[in-house]
Chain A
Amino acid sequence: GQSLEQPSEVTAVEGAIVQINCTYQTSGFYGLSWYQQHDGGAPTFLSYNALDGLEETGRFSSFLSRSDSYGYLLLQELQMKDSASYFCAVGNNAGNMLTFGGGTRLMVKP
């Protein structure tokens, strides 16, 4: 089976940097993904790491360490609109199934 752990809630101020961690235990691994979900909205894809290291996409970066079964999402220059839930997810070996973490609710304050 697969399980993922991430903090349930994080609070930060506008303009700051925040890191959301994710640890996983999997029987197979096909990469770590991150999704954003605003209240009442659909989850939307943010980033994906198949290999170790940092992937940068604008203000958002994602990191993976397969040996540590660990990754994180880094959000820079926080904006109020970044207030949302963030989910990490792992794919299985066949790449046809995504298992999600419980989500981290990020609250950005002025």
Chain B
Amino acid sequence: ETGVTQTPRHLVMGMTNKKSLKCEQHLGHNAMYWYKQSAKKPLELMFVYNFKEQTENNSVPSRFSPECPNSSHLFLHLHTLQPEDSALYLCASSQAGTATEAFFGQGTRLTVV
């Protein structure tokens, strides 16, 4: 148990579906992140939230929409995805301003069909 919980662990969705990924952290951190991990590619930073405010959007397509209602919860809303969006989506948290040690969830394995 890492203190960062992601649901669901696996998700299969069609290109016209709308779904959401959820992340919850119980570590008292105030920064949360979404990363995408594709096969044979580096971990790609998607979004950063510090104290519930989005501080980074790493040129992510608008079909990915993040939401951070409080410092403990982070969502990634998905709609009209493409097959190339199939990947492992990882949520992480850290103390704001100290991204040296991030704690990751187990990830959601997303398959777009």
User: How many residues of A are in contact with the other chain, CB < 8 A?
Assistant: 25
* Inter-chain contact B45/A97, CB cutoff 8 Å: yes
Return B30 CB to nearest CB of chain A, in Å: 10
User: How many residues of B are in contact with the other chain, CB < 8 A?
Assistant: 27
Task: Report the bound CA distance from A61 to B35 in whole Å.
Answer: 26
* A102 contacts across to B, CB distance below 8 A: 41-42
Tell me the chain A residues, 51-84 only, with Cβ under 8 Å from chain B: none
* Inter-chain contact B42/A101, CB cutoff 8 Å: yes
Tell me the chain A residues, 87-105 only, with Cβ under 8 Å from chain B: 87, 89, 91-92, 94-103
Q: Known: A33-B100, A102-B41, A103-B42. Contact between A96 and B55, CB under 8 A?
A: yes
Would you call the interface of chain A mostly helix, strand, loop, or mixed?
loop
Tell me the chain B residues, 41-76 only, with Cβ under 8 Å from chain A: 41-43, 45, 48, 50, 55-56
Chain B residues within CB distance 8 Å of chain A? 2, 4, 31, 33, 35, 41-43, 45, 48, 50, 55-56, 90, 92, 96-107
> What are 12 residue pairs bridging A and B, where the CB atoms are less than 8 Å apart in the complex?
A30-B100, A31-B100, A33-B101, A42-B2, A42-B105, A43-B92, A43-B102, A91-B100, A95-B96, A96-B55, A96-B96, A98-B33
Since A30-B99, A42-B2 are in contact, a sample of 9 more A-B pairs with Cβ atoms closer than 8 Å, ordered by chain A residue number, is: A33-B100, A42-B104, A45-B102, A92-B99, A95-B97, A95-B98, A96-B56, A98-B92, A103-B42
